[in-house]
Chains A and B, each alone.
Chain A
Amino acid sequence: MLNLRYFVIFLSLLVGLILMILPLPDPVQIYRPNWVALILIYWNMALPQRVGPWIAFFIGIVVDTSQGTLLGQHALALVIIIYINQIFHQRIRVMSLVQQAIYVFGLLVISQVIIVWVEGIMGRPPPLLAFFSAPFIGMLIWPWVFVVLRDIRRKANIN
């Protein structure tokens, strides 16, 4: 019974993964928000004991496999932002959606910097736009992601 509820979390992460590999036209790809990060941030805010650094790590490895990037690249980014989120989430939870979105923008920029930094170390530095384009879009859609996942969490009665 418990497992069925947590299956909803797993399913939402799966949807995030699908959104990461959905085909987009080449010039638009760089604006794709980090769906997995957004969904993970929400669940870490809502259930910090259940969804924590370990889940961030494993999801990150799965994202690395599906994206063809170095194993550990996205994992590192997600682990770090989940850690930061663990520290701040209680204060953030009570803020308005707009203020939350700005906070999430900060997290996404940190995650993006880590990913792009590793790309730079590997000898293939992405364009400057790559630092902000995806986090900016992520910030804009955060209120929507928050509301949708909150409704799903309430309907599925997950606590």
Chain B
Amino acid sequence: MNQLHYREQGTSIRTLFLVGLCIALMFVDQRFNHLEVVRSNISLVLSPIRYLVSLPAITGSWANEWLSSHIELLNENSALKAKGRILNARLQKMQVLKAENTRLRNMLGSSRKLADQVIVAELLSVDQSPYRQLIEINKGTFDGVELGLAVIDDFGVMGQVIHVNQYTATTILISDPEHAIPVQFIRSGTRSVAFGNGSVDQLELRYLPATADIKVNDQLVTSGLGGRFPADYPVATVISITKDLTHGFVSVLAKPLARLDSSREVLVVKSNNGLTAE
């Protein structure tokens, strides 16, 4: 009986210490970045498991590709060629615009903008906390991914990298309630911030003054302010505007353009926001 008593006492003290340690860790993790190294190293050890869990999904899509019929492949091939031709035509126009932009900048004596570098990545089919909007991609520091880089898909901005190890990275999506992205209206140039609220098809723009020039279906792009996201990448389209006359603000909802819940291939963008001198 005595032995049991001693053991329970020992356990109580140990547990109390561990409880205190947990609370301290949560506090530090929430406020500071010191624990990022710990997370990164544990994450590194976990990466083979992540790849393992992702294997069925990868095998599934690989098998799907392999078993495509000849006819399907021919059709897909000609559709892609047609799309390629259209994109090439648009690209030619863009080259002209780029050249004109450089000339104009030269005339004004401003510095030249460099193109952003991109890293192609794929989603790992692993689930993370159901209360967050996080995704795991299969590129890490080994491939040039760093903390804070923007992640986009074909249609718009998806989020940014918040944890990284050598082989994988965790990306927070713009729909996560903890995320806010500085945006700009294309049409009017009005600047605002788009907050996530946990839903993949809604972003909230808060605290826009009622006098702001905004309409439903306006396009939002990144404004580049804050230095986190490179400027001019599409973010969302306005879907509703609610005026709050008592406070003089409007509450705006926007639908993200990126396919936050279905895109599998993404690009990690290394922005060259810093302009070079001529």
- Check A86–B178 contact: CB distance below 8 A: no
Nearest neighbor of A19 in chain B, beta-carbon distance? B53
- Check A24–B127 contact: CB distance below 8 A: yes
The yes or no answer to B261 lying at the interface (CB within 8 A) is yes
Alpha-carbon distance A76/B18, docked complex (angstroms): 8
Chain A contacts to B: CB under 8 angstroms: 14, 17-18, 20-24, 26, 29-30, 32, 52-54, 56-57, 60-62, 65-73, 75-76, 79-80, 82-83, 86-87, 116, 118-119, 122-124, 126, 130
Most buried by B among A54, A71, A130: A71
**B:24-58 near A, CB below 8 Å:** 24-26, 28-30, 35, 38-39, 42-43, 46, 49-50, 52-54, 57
If A29-B130, A69-B132 are given as contacts, then 13 extra A-B residue pairs at C-beta distance below 8 Å, sorted by A number, are: A17-B49, A18-B49, A21-B53, A23-B125, A52-B11, A54-B14, A61-B25, A66-B43, A66-B49, A68-B128, A71-B29, A79-B18, A124-B198
The yes or no answer to B101 lying at the interface (CB within 8 A) is no
Min Cβ gap A77→B in Å is 9
Nearest neighbor of B129 in chain A, beta-carbon distance? A67
Q: Indicate whether A57 sits within 8 Å of B21 (C-beta atoms), given known contacts A68-B128, A71-B26, A83-B15.
A: yes
Supply 13 A–B pairs (Cβ within 8 Å), ascending by A: A22-B126, A53-B11, A60-B22, A66-B43, A66-B46, A68-B163, A68-B170, A69-B131, A71-B25, A71-B28, A75-B22, A86-B8, A122-B30
Interface of B is mostly: helix
The yes or no answer to B99 lying at the interface (CB within 8 A) is no
Q: Indicate whether A32 sits within 8 Å of B130 (C-beta atoms), given known contacts A72-B21, A86-B8, A124-B178.
A: yes
Alpha-carbon distance A47/B174, docked complex (angstroms): 45
- Check A124–B132 contact: CB distance below 8 A: yes
- Check B19–A18 contact: CB distance below 8 A: no
- Check A65–B39 contact: CB distance below 8 A: yes
**B:2-24 near A, CB below 8 Å:** 8, 11-12, 14-15, 18-19, 21-24
CB-contact partner of A23 in B12, B57, B178, under 8 A: B57
**B:80-119 near A, CB below 8 Å:** none
- Check B53–A71 contact: CB distance below 8 A: no
- Check A76–B132 contact: CB distance below 8 A: no
